[in-house]
Structure formats: structure tokens, C-alpha cells
Amino acid sequence: MDNDFFYKARKKVLVSNDFREMLIRQDTTLIEQRLISCILSSLKDIQSELIEVKVPSYELQQTRTTRSDYYKKKIAEQGVVNFHFSLREINPSRKMRNQSIKHALVNMSNINWLQVRDDSIKGFKAVPFIVEPRWNCSNIYFKMDKEVLKLLVNMSQYYSLFRELPYEVSSSNTIKFLLWMLKFQKRSSVVRDYHQLLMELYISKNKYIARSHFERDFLINVKADLEAFNDYCFDFLYKDGKYTFFIKRNSNFKIEKENLTMLDDIRIKRSVKYLTKTRDLSTTNIRSLLNLYKIKGYEILANHLKCKIDPIYKSDEYIKQVFLLLDKST
């Protein structure tokens, strides 16, 4: 694994659940959120390798070393890793003063910026998010400790965000609320009383003079941002002392259509790579399998492939067995 990371343009970035929870606790500025977005963009290739692909249990071997195992081992061996970004990637429109970016770098290198779990004391320890930030008129440089890196690449549970959100939204509150909302996205709705909501968002109960001020200064602005710049948004209702948030797909949000969603694309690539190796798939076999994934979707086809297809079937015979399996299910 390379020790040097550079910015890579992405449509979406991946946020581990550990890091999501930390970001909700932390009051971050929009500049800091942009820096985080660039860091996650540069780490996405490694994160993708660490996403576990579900494979049939009978094919798993305890002694088999996966690419995921390889990357976990390399991360454990790391001391620090280096990041190099152009200032243009943080401030593309040049509307932001470079002094503000430098201030964000120094702030994120403060030991109070981040807390990570310390299993040796069954508690937490304070660590700087980045180490030794440096800059000139064109670029910024910094290091990251392996403990922080592990937090960012733990893909046991993760969420995806549009990379450009911190460049488009009006307030850092939008990212904070969205990270909280992502946990409930599959539920369609969530109910919280006012004080519980503030607690879960790590907002002081004294920050807003009244609940109406929270709605005016926080919720309404966040709602407008997500409706303008995100694929999921929300409506809300306050009744009988509780908020109900209705989470929904944003029908007005237009993005370039892709044949596969970002998440499914990662899963399919990993699954096909695994099957190519274990089933001796030819280029034609791989093309057939990819077409099936496009037609059926990842979840449906993956569920079928969990069914036992005898390991003796390889290459063309394996593909035939997949089609036979699908025929039986229709």
C-alpha cells in the first residue's frame, strides 16, 4: 500500500460509520468539511478494497488470504501516511481566503480535534486528525496517523455522500444533519422530541433561545440545502412535543444516470473478481455475468449466487449453472 495519497475526483465519497459518528460530535467548518471530502476522495480505492463481498459459505477457506486481509495488514503496519493536495482542490472558485484554509489545517492538527477509542483502557484518547500540516502558495501537505486512518477505512458499515456537498451547501450544519439522517434513511421516517434531537446532534440545549429559532436558523436552511444539492431530502412535522422527519428521495435532484450505483459497482467488481479466480471465468464469462448483474441488480443476483453451485463447475459450465438457477426461480 502506497504511503502517499493525492486527490482524485469522485462523484461520491465513502464515510465509515465510526467516522460518521465522530463528525456528528465534532463542530466542523465548511473548510474542514472540504478537506475531509478531499481526504476521503483520495482514500476511496483502499476503502473499496476493504468492503467485504458476500460469497457462498461453502467456498470460504479459513486459510485464504484476501485483498481485504492484505490491506488490513498493511494499514496495521503503517506509521503515518502522507497527503498532498492542491489549494485549487479546496478553493476552486478562489472565493475563500487562503488564510482561512491554513487556519483549518492548524485547527485539525490540534490534539483536541478528534477522539478515538483506546481499547487498552476501555475508553478514548485525544489525537490530532492530521499531523505536521505544511503549505505554500499552491499546495498543502500533511500526515495522518494509522489510528486515524483505521477510523476512516473501517468499511464494516459505511455510507456514501456526494463529494461536492461541502462546496455547495450554505452551512456546515447541513453535513452534520445529513450524517445523522443517513442512519435512518432506510426507515423513511424517524421521530424525536426536541431535546433528544439536540442531544443526538451534539448541539447545546442553550444554543437556540426557543425551538422556533432552531427551526428558523437550522432546520429550514438544512432542508433547503438538501433539496437543492442532494439525492435524499426530508420534510418535517412538529406535533405533540415531537418532530417527525420524513426521509425521501429528492425527485427534483438531477444527477447523471449511471448503469450501476456507486455502491453496487464496488460490490459487483469485487464479486466478479472473486468468481473469476475461483471459477476460472473467461472474458466472455465475465461479460455474461456483468450483463446479469445489470439486468437483475446486485442484491437479487447475489442472493441467488448464495445458493450452492457445486465447486466442480468452472468457466462456461458455471455460467450455465447460474442461468439454470435463475430459470428455476422464475
C-alpha grid cell for residue 321? Answer: 449453472
CATH number attached to the domain at 173-254: 1.10.10.10
Per mean pLDDT, which range of 100-114, 172-186, 252-266 is the poorest?
252-266
pLDDT of residue 63: 37
120 vs 264, more confident: 120
Q: Are 3 and 135 in contact (CB under 8 A)?
A: no
pLDDT of residue 76: 59
Q: Are 226 and 234 in contact (CB under 8 A)?
A: yes
pLDDT of residue 263: 66
DSSP state of 113: S
Domain ranges of the chain: 1-168, 173-254, 262-329
Whether 224 shows a pLDDT value over 90: the answer reads yes
Mean of pLDDT values over 146-156: 88
Residues, the chain: 330
Whether 61 shows a pLDDT value over 50: the answer reads no
22 vs 328, more confident: 22
92 vs 218, more confident: 218
Whether 145 shows a pLDDT value over 70: the answer reads yes
pLDDT confidence band for 77 (50 / 70 / 90): low
pLDDT confidence band for 294 (50 / 70 / 90): confident
For the beta carbon of residue 313, count every other beta carbon within 10 angstroms.
Answer: 15
pLDDT of residue 57: 46
Per mean pLDDT, which range of 16-25, 54-63, 109-118 is the poorest?
54-63
Mean of pLDDT values over 186-203: 94
Is 163 in a helix, a strand, or coil? coil
- The answer to whether domain 1-168 and domain 173-254 are alike in fold is yes
Per mean pLDDT, which range of 11-15, 282-286, 297-301 is the poorest?
297-301
295 vs 39, more confident: 39
Whether 143 shows a pLDDT value over 90: the answer reads yes
CATH number attached to the domain at 1-168: 1.10.10.10
pLDDT of residue 329: 66
- As a whole-number percent, the residues of the chain with pLDDT over 70 amount to 87
What's the alpha-carbon Rg for the chain, to the nearest Å? Answer: 23
Considering the chain, what is the average pLDDT of its residues? Answer: 84
Q: Edge-to-edge, what's the strand order for the sheet holding 232-239?
A: 189-193, 242-249, 232-239
Q: Which amino acid is at 299?
A: E
pTM of the model: 0.73
Q: Are 23 and 179 in contact (CB under 8 A)?
A: yes
